[in-house]
Amino acid sequence: PVKDINLTEIKYKDKSREKQRKKNLQAKKAVQQQEPKPQKSKSTPNAAATVMRKKTAKQRRVVQSIDDEEEMAQEYRLLKKLKRGSIDESEFAKLTGTEELL
């Protein structure tokens, strides 16, 4: 179908058929005017962005494993600094969050 053509504007050659078409168009227009338009809900345009989607278990595990790997890498770097003597044991404990264990 062609999108630029309005089918309601095409006239019939037969006059009686054309009268019937006009009558039907007027009836449809009257019904549309009588029906109240549905009011759109006034929501914020960012409403979809504010709704947080709950992550699946697999997604949570992936995020958790990435966080764990980063934490292990950071602690490994701190341990290497401790062995080299760049930091002392109290500073190592403070940076790793184990100062209450000492």
pLDDT tens digits for range 45-76:
666 656 778 889 999 999 999 999 999 999 99
Q: Comparing 11 with 102, which gets the higher pLDDT?
A: 11
In-domain check, residue 74 = yes
In-domain check, residue 34 = no
The CA angle 71-54-51, to the nearest 5 degrees, is 115
Question: Structural domain tally of the chain?
Answer: 1
In-domain check, residue 67 = yes
Domain that holds residue 95: 59-101
In-domain check, residue 44 = no
The pTM score is 0.45
In-domain check, residue 9 = no
Rounded to an integer, the average pLDDT of 5-12 is 86
In-domain check, residue 63 = yes
What's the pLDDT band for 99 if we cut at 50, 70, 90? confident
